[in-house]
């Protein structure tokens, strides 16, 4: 193994993955290029837009700010994993019903961030939703519909109802 490459083993969406990666490959590039998990998007590549939002060991973070080599031994969950597990089905439905997605570029990051918020704070105020989602940029919706969708899910979960 050269100094420019590292062998890594990690779990992605419940599946063990072993690969050799370039030393400077970002985690989101690894997920997209090596594993074909293209739900996490590359927007700014500086950690400010939120399009590359993923979970690493249960913590939501920006995949463009972490190198794939740093993820060795970690458990990664992408939007595909969250969706396939059904964990965000009500959020996805609510985003659709409230027209909280338009071009779709930011939507995976928005959904991952919204899921994290609702896990931490099951009954957020509109202001709390706006604050938590402030690290995810959307150029299409103006955020009002996104806030509506997240608040709607919180209310439905609180009442024990589905969409």
Residues 72, 92, single domain; the answer is no
Are residues 66 and 99 part of one domain? no
Query: What is the residue range of 148's domain?
Result: 86-159
From 57, 82, 107, give the residue that closes a domain.
82
Domain edge (last residue) among 82, 102, 137? 82
Whether residues 91 and 74 fall in one domain: no
Share of the chain above pLDDT 70, in %: 97
Q: Which one of 52, 82, 112 terminates a domain?
A: 82
B/e letters for 150-160, b = 16+ CB within 10 Å, e = fewer, are bbbbbeeeeee
pLDDT of residue 49: 92
Instruction: Output the pLDDT for position 142.
Output: 76
Structure tokens at 30: 């690894």
Q: What pLDDT is recorded for position 102?
A: 84
Which pLDDT score is estimated for 161? 64
Residues 120 and 102 in one domain: yes
Q: Given pLDDT bands bounded at 50, 70 and 90, which one contains residue 2?
A: low
What's the whole-number mean pLDDT along residues 112-131?
A: 96
pLDDT surpassing 60 at residue 90: yes
Same domain, 25 and 61: yes
- DSSP assignment of 64-101 equals GGSBGGGGTT-EEE-HHHHHHHTTTHHHHHHHHHTT--
Average pLDDT, rounded, for the chain: 93
Distance of CA 126 to the CA centre of its chain: 20
Residue-wise pLDDT tens digits, 16-75:
999 999 999 999 999 999 999 999 998 888 888 999 999 999 999 999 999 999 999 999
Inform me whether the pLDDT recorded for 9 exceeds 60.
Answer: yes
CATH number at residue 107: 1.10.150.120
The CB density around residue 127, as the number of other CB atoms within 10 Å, is 9
User: For position 140, what pLDDT does the model report?
Assistant: 83
* Model confidence band, residue 104 (pLDDT cutoffs 50, 70, 90): confident
- The count of structural domains within the chain is 2
For residues 34 and 95, state if they share a domain. no
């Amino acid at each position: 193994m050269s100094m420019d490459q590292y062998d890594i083993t990690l779990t992605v969406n419940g599946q063990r993955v072993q690969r050799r990666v370039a030393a400077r490959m970002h985690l989101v590039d690894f997920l997209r290029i090596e594993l074909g998990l293209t739900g996490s998007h590359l927007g700014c590549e500086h950690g400010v837009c939120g399009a590359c939002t993923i979970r690493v060991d249960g913590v939501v973070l920006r995949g463009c700010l972490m190198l794939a080599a740093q993820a060795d031994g970690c458990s990664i969950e992408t939007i595909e994993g969250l969706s396939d597990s059904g964990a965000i089905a009500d959020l996805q439905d609510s985003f659709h019903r409230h027209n909280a997605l338009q071009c779709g570029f930011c939507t995976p990051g928005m959904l991952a961030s919204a899921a994290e918020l609702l896990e931490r704070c099951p009954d957020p105020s509109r202001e709390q939703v706006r604050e938590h989602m402030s690290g995810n940029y959307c150029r299409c919706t103006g955020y009002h519909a996104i806030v509506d969708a997240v608040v709607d899910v919180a209310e439905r979960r609180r009442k024990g109802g589905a969409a």
